[in-house]
Structure 1
Amino acid sequence: MIPPKPKARPDRVSLWRYVKLFRQDILSAQPARLYRAWMAEFKTPFFRSYLVNQPDLVKTVLKDRPMDFPKSGRISEGLRPLLGESVFLTNGATWQRQRRIIDPAFEGGRLRETFAAMWAASDAARTRLIARAGEEVEIEEFTSHAAADVIFRTLFSIPIEDEVAQQVFHEFRTYQRSQPILNLAAFVPLPNWMPRFFRKDTKATARRIRTLISGLCEARAAEITSSTAPDDLATKIMTTVDPETGETFDAQEMVDQVAIFFLAGHETSASALAWTLYLMATHPEWQDKVAAEAQALSGDFSEVSKLKVSRDVFREALRLYPPVPMMVRETTCPEHFRNRTLPKGSQVVLSPWHLHRHERLWDRPDDFDPARWQTENGKTCGREAYMPFSAGARVCTGAGFAMVEGVLLLSLLLRDMKVAPVAGKEPVPEAHLTVRSRDGIWLKVSRR
């Protein structure tokens, strides 16, 4: 079967119709021609936007000249109440300083050190799913809980059952439901002094989340001072000194960074795992292969590298359902792409969703086929047209972490459990903060 994807809009619509569609769902607001286009232009009264699919131009923006194409402030307008000046939103020297402090926490050696916490969270998720055997489960809610548990255990050494962890988890769920991807400032350029208009519930939820995170960070700072802090990601980040300035993050900066770790690390992982489990339910032959490979798992970090089937399955799910469907950069000077001049201040949209399904690049782009990664076309596209975690200097800091987490959770869950689709409840993909299903993803779970 062909995995579901959103129905495309008509090729031409008015600006206000587009804005309305975009607020409802980023993906169905786009025309079908983007699955074949190398570049497409979209004009508004206030700015021009160019979606770029041509691999060498994507490389120019993300890898060759990333500092010439900073992140656009338009999309970040709607996220600042929660994320402040986090590494996800900043540019230039501020972003470079933040990466110098954050990156060491996610280096290869740290994955081995955090694996025990990741395994504990994955095993807890397996136990929770076993308890639901024989039921129909809304799997996105389940994977959100599992991914949050991984974040809490690896970042602050607390399980999701911890009272504060529970509060943060539920507040994040509320925030995701209340926060549209766009507000007025995304389409109309507003001066810095002008107040931004956010929904009251969005602002209130963001304040509650930041207060809870601030409490966790203050408690950890006290443990660091008394030399009783566990050796987890939070401790590593809070004690890492910027080699150029000799400074660490202050309290406000740390709250900003933890907020994006939760939003990006938890939300994207939950989305990716949910869609992977759905694809396993609809492709039982691959589900059985993952389960067979997982039988040897015992909890040793070295075993992860042997999960080759699970890795290809997870990569294929990320291709079809990249958690972050679009990324927006901005030109700092006029650029010349495909015989067009992009004025300074233009929005350059890079769409993993369209690039991963591009009809002129991939063989059978809408099919689920983990075996493609061993073909010549798959290997070429994997290098040139695959970016579920972005690419280049601004590649997701936790990309390696996410690949271990996703593969481990998938393997451990399917080792003992089977998932099957629920008749009449095919999911409809739509994108707000990440690619989710409009009415959830319902699966029937049973013991293997």
Structure 2
Amino acid sequence: MIPPKPPSRPDKVSLWRYARLFRADILSAQPARLYRAWMAEFRTPFFRSYLLNQPDLVKTVLKDRPRDFPKSDRIGEGLRPLLGQSVFLTNGATWERQRRIIDPAFEGGRLRATWPAMFAAAQSARARLAARAGEVVEIEEQTSHAAADVIFRTLFSIPIEDRVAQDVFREFRAYQRTQPILNLAAFVPLPRWMPRFFRRDTRAAARRIRGLIGELTEARMKAIRAGTAPEDLATKIMTTPDPETGETFTAGEMVDQVAIFFLAGHETSASALAWALYLLATHPEWQERVAQEAQNLTEDFASLSNLRVTRDVFREALRLYPPVPMMVRETTRAERFRDRVIPKGAQMVLSPWHLHRHERLWENPDGFDPARWGTDNGRSCAREAYMPFSAGPRVCTGAGFAMAEGVLLLALLLRDLRVEALPERVPEPVAHLTVRARGGIWLRITPRKAHVSDEG
């Protein structure tokens, strides 16, 4: 079965209760009417927020006029200790400069160039799971390990077993457990000089992670100067000049960017892959189709294009469980949407979680149906109501990378292994940094008939 949507709160609650619900889980803090509403308004004593589900309004904010709706600092406040001034949090000229330097690393043939490292990480993930055959495992822990390995191999050419990589991975898991998606600044407009009330352990974990990332970037800069650096993503990003100024990232700027690569490339990928495996465990007919299709997967990058069923399955997992459930923009001037006057400084909430399950847009919105992408409704919604990686100029620069990674891991794992759900352990989705399961996702792992080789 598909895990039920989180329980929705009553339409009207006090600000104090809403803040407590939001801090605990962003999904269950929302009323059920948002799955049908085109637009909804929320008022607090300090600001107004508006959730947008109407496709043309979402398009206005994300695609048509993105400069008029920059990212809200309220949401960024909670991640600032870890991400600093990374591309995920900045706006305006700073963001544009960062994207001019970062984007070339993910264009054209770069995905093909990262494929061998990605494939090696997938093989290691399969070996770790195969060693647990016959056991019940918490699959989110396994997908976190796999996604972290992909990031370290493609970014810095080191496996997860490397000492610094292990330390970053361990510290990041500690950070996940201490960092809520929002802090007080999301509800109260604090002056810039006032402390942001981050938990002591959250600040400490962020400092340790940034210190470890600093070790990696400093070592890479020395290798670049010596002419001994591998041609991986880190080298590409650190040596790419801004085409307008000729400047490259400083060491401090690179720490900020690596932090968001790890957050976006590890945490979100781990979430999506775990939910995809659970959905296939509960839909064995689709699991068998993925496993059969994966028999043709080889180490040749071209074989990825043949995994059409697997890609549709992964897209459906991203629809039902988008890793980033909500995005927030801010108005820079007064607006008028659906005959409502929206003041300057209002929070505009774009929610993939609600948009992807909207009852007036999707057929069978809460059902798992990878075949929907071949229907008229699926194709229409893919254009207008599907944004697991955001949309417009701020679409995730690594979206193609993430899709290749997810499809590869899903296919390689299920080619040789079978996953089975436990009826007594239905996971409950909750959102902190990403959409995860309260108490984890537990699956039984069993072997399939041995596959001859990865060479096809």
Answer yes or no: is the 8 Å Cα contact 2:2–2:279 preserved in 1. Answer: no
Matched, 1:147 2:154: no
- Residue equivalent to 2:441: 441
Q: Residues 7-86 of structure 1: matches in 2 within 5 Å?
A: 7-86=7-86
SS of 2:345's partner is coil
Extract structure 1 runs of 4+ deviating beyond 2 A.
Answer: 1-4
- Residue equivalent to 1:421: 421
Matched, 1:367 2:387: no
Distance 1:436 1:5 in 2: 13
- Residue equivalent to 2:187: 187
Q: Residues 228-377 of structure 1: matches in 2 within 5 Å?
A: 228-377=228-377
SS of 2:325's partner is coil
- Residue equivalent to 1:92: 92
Distance 1:430 1:3 in 2: 11
Distance 1:280 1:72 in 2: 36
- Residue equivalent to 1:430: 430
- Residue equivalent to 2:5: 5
Distance 1:194 1:19 in 2: 20
- Residue equivalent to 2:451: none
5+ residue gaps, structure 2, are 449-456
Distance 2:34 2:414 in 1: 35
SS of 2:41's partner is strand
Partner AA of 2:186 in structure 1:
A
Distance 1:414 1:154 in 2: 23
CA RMSD of aligned residues (A): 0.6
SS of 2:49's partner is strand
- Residue equivalent to 1:409: 409
Matched, 1:206 2:206: yes
Partner AA of 1:356 in structure 2:
H
- Residue equivalent to 2:171: 171
- Residue equivalent to 1:132: 132
Shift of 1:297: 1.2
Residues 38-57 of structure 1 show CA distances to partners (whole Å, capped at 9, x for unaligned) of: 00000000100000000000
Answer yes or no: is the 8 Å Cα contact 1:69–1:332 preserved in 2. Answer: yes
Distance 1:207 1:352 in 2: 31
TM-score, normalised with respect to structure 1: 0.99
Shift of 1:186: 1.1
Q: Percent identity?
A: 78
Answer yes or no: is the 8 Å Cα contact 1:3–1:367 preserved in 2. Answer: no
TM-score, normalised with respect to structure 2: 0.98
Answer yes or no: is the 8 Å Cα contact 2:42–2:48 preserved in 1. Answer: yes
Answer yes or no: is the 8 Å Cα contact 1:152–1:160 preserved in 2. Answer: yes
Distance 2:366 2:47 in 1: 32
SS of 1:50's partner is strand
Shift of 1:232: 0.2
Partner AA of 1:399 in structure 2:
A
Answer yes or no: is the 8 Å Cα contact 1:100–1:242 preserved in 2. Answer: yes
Partner AA of 2:128 in structure 1:
R
SS of 2:296's partner is coil
Distance 1:5 1:37 in 2: 17
- Residue equivalent to 2:122: 122
Distance 1:188 1:81 in 2: 19
Shift of 1:3: 3.6
Distance 1:5 1:159 in 2: 36
- Residue equivalent to 1:394: 394
5+ residue gaps, structure 1, are none
Residues 125-164 of structure 1 show CA distances to partners (whole Å, capped at 9, x for unaligned) of: 0111110100001000000000000000000000000011
Distance 1:273 1:291 in 2: 15
Shift of 1:298: 1.5
Answer yes or no: is the 8 Å Cα contact 1:3–1:366 preserved in 2. Answer: no
SS of 1:108's partner is coil
- Residue equivalent to 1:225: 225
Distance 2:185 2:310 in 1: 42
Shift of 1:423: 2.9
Partner AA of 1:22 in structure 2:
F
Distance 1:43 1:10 in 2: 15
Shift of 1:181: 1.2
Answer yes or no: is the 8 Å Cα contact 2:3–2:428 preserved in 1. Answer: no
Distance 1:169 1:61 in 2: 35
Partner AA of 1:389 in structure 2:
F
Distance 2:336 2:304 in 1: 44
